[in-house]
Amino acid sequence: MEFNLQQVCGNARAGILKLAHGEVPTPIFMPVGTQASVKALDFMDLLALKAPIILANTYHLYLRPNDEVIKQLGGLHNFSQFPKNFLTDSGGFQAFSLSSNAKVCEEGILFKSHIDGSKHFFTPKKVLDIQYNLNSDIMMVLDDLVGLPAPAKRILESINKTSFWAEESIQYHNLKKYQAQEEGREFNNHIFAINQGGVDRKLREMSARDLSAMGDFDGYAIGGLAVGESNVMMYETLDFTIPFLPKDKPRYLMGVGTPRDIIEAIARGVDMFDCVMPTRNARNGTLFTNEGKMAIKSTRFKLDAKPLDEKCSCYTCTNHTRAYLHHLFRAGEMSYFRLASIHNLAYYLSLVKNAREAILQGKFEEFYKKIVEIT
């Protein structure tokens, strides 16, 4: 996978990821489309938002409708009609968090479906096979994630297992790539490793060194953060982890976060983000604007004829007033979910776009200060 680093400003980076379904300028925020659908939106909304990549969830799509079904229907892109890129997670996190009794063992994760209680076993190869069927542009390896705080012994076990599984994954992936080349087939699936180690400097370093030594990964994710530690600890962990990740590969901070978290992580050299926050908060009535967060149900918006965010040019802000959104929210109207989700995603996408422009102009520090004031 080609990743061109265009500019570095302090530690913040601007680059371009070249994928089969279009270029991705970085830093980038990836809207979460768990079920091959960003909640309340369709592919036309995502195209209007100019989202170059979205995330889908391996665990959910494997259980329903199943990856073989999606393969038969032309992979995620054809199935959903979203023609840009998809990143899929490994499913390990959901197998663990959603299942009533998941068990991590040497070879993988044994879990019960949260839908019908059926038993399944995710191994490093199995989750890649699912992701090949989905035809993901970027696939994540299976990792062993630990909630924080956790005993050092458990975290050590997690990074050892994660490294072992990563090795197995990259060997399998290289074999698949080789087979595709031999057969003259297109092969557009790229693979990212996941760094673990809690908030421990030595363990993060050990994990980063192990994974970097395997060489062939297309990118590196930082996993196991935003799982209970404080924001300051998360920022510190990024400070001491990122120097051990390869400079020429994209870095992806999984599942993070607030606008402030994103800007702090960009300042430390992270290139990619995903989080349910913009869409989930939108549905719950919290909207992100250039004036700060807004609770749309508040009666102060009842007669407010201004657009939601005067500096935003999204579909919602172009067409509707705060008063109308306030009314739709209070009335529980379906259209509220779409309009609010469009705006919050537009806010996140413009945050990373503006950060990128500031980096390219060598003015990231000024931009950072401005954002920190309002977030």
Neighbours of 21 (CB within 10 A): 17
Angstrom distance (rounded) from CA 116 to CA 94? 15
Q: Which of 346, 349, 351, 355 binds Zn ion (CB under 5 A)?
A: 346
Pairwise CA distance, residues 96 & 89, whole Å: 13
Counting contacts by CB under 5 A, is residue 343 touching Zn ion?
yes
Count CB-CB contacts under 10 A for residue 247: 11
Closest separation between CB of residue 347 and Zn ion, Å?
7
| Closer residue to Zn ion, CB minimum distance, 141 or 287 | 287
- Residue 321 per-residue DSSP state: B
Binding footprint of Zn ion, residue count (CB under 5 A): 7
Judged by beta carbon, residue 26 or residue 316, the one nearer Zn ion is 316
Q: Which two tokens stand for residue 108?
A: 């993988």
Instruction: Kindly state the smallest distance separating residue 98's Cβ from Zn ion, in Å.
Output: 32
Distance of CA 153 to the CA centre of its chain: 28
Scanning 175-183, 238-246, 260-268, 340-348 for contacts with Zn ion by CB under 5 A, the matching segment is 340-348
Within 13 Å, how many C-alpha atoms sit on residue 3's CB side? 20
Q: Is the CB of 158 or the CB of 341 nearer to Zn ion?
A: 341
Whose Cβ is closer to Zn ion: residue 19's or residue 328's? Answer: 328
Our CB check for Zn ion shows the closer of 316 and 341 to be: 316
Q: Does 317 bind Zn ion (CB under 5 A)?
A: yes
Look at residues 145, 174, 272 and name the one whose alpha carbon lies nearest to residue 220.
272
Under the criterion CB under 5 A, does residue 166 sit at the interface with Zn ion?
no
Which residues touch 263 (CB under 8 Å, ≥6 apart)? Answer: 351, 355, 368, 371, 372, 375
Give the nearest distance from C-beta 317 to Zn ion in angstroms: 3
The interface region with Zn ion, picked from 236-244, 291-299, 311-319, 360-368 by CB under 5 A, is 311-319
Q: Which is nearer to Zn ion, 232 or 305 (CB)?
A: 305
Least Å distance, CB 46 to Zn ion, is 15
Q: How many CA atoms lie within 13 A of 68 on its CB side?
A: 2
With DSSP H G I counted as helix, E B as strand and the rest as coil, what are the percentages for the chain, rounded to 5?
Answer: 45, 20, 35
**Residues 258 and 375 sit within 8 Å (Cβ to Cβ):** yes
In the shown chain, the binding pattern of residues 255 to 294 toward Zn ion, with x for contact by CB under 5 A and - for none, equals ----------------------------------------
- Axis crossing angle, helix 124-134 with helix 152-182, rounded to the nearest 10: 50
Which amino acids are annotated catalytic?
89, 274
67 or 309, CB closer to Zn ion? 309
Q: Should residue 312 be labelled a site residue for Zn ion when binding is judged by CB under 5 A?
A: yes
CB of 277 to Zn ion, least distance (A): 16
Q: What is the identity of the amino acid at 358?
A: A
**Minimum distance of Zn ion from residue 268's CB (angstroms):** 28
Per CB under 5 A, the segment of 115-123, 222-230, 305-313, 353-361 that binds Zn ion is 305-313
The DSSP line for 237-284 is HHHHHGGGS-TTS-EEETT---HHHHHHHHHTT--EEE-SHHHHHHHH
Region near Zn ion per CB under 5 A, out of 62-70, 98-106, 195-203, 339-347 = 339-347
Task: Select the residue interacting with Zn ion from 1, 32, 56, 314 (CB under 5 A).
Answer: 314
DSSP 65: T
Q: What is the spatial distance between Cα 306 and Cα 282, in angstroms, rounded to a whole number? A: 18
Q: Which stretch binds Zn ion (CB under 5 A): 69-77, 179-187, 245-253, 314-322?
A: 314-322
Shortest Cβ distance from residue 350 to Zn ion (Å)?
9
* The pair of three-digit structure tokens given for residue 324, joined into one six-digit string: 């109308």
Query: Which residues contact Zn ion (rule: CB under 5 A)?
Result: 309, 312, 314, 316-317, 343, 346
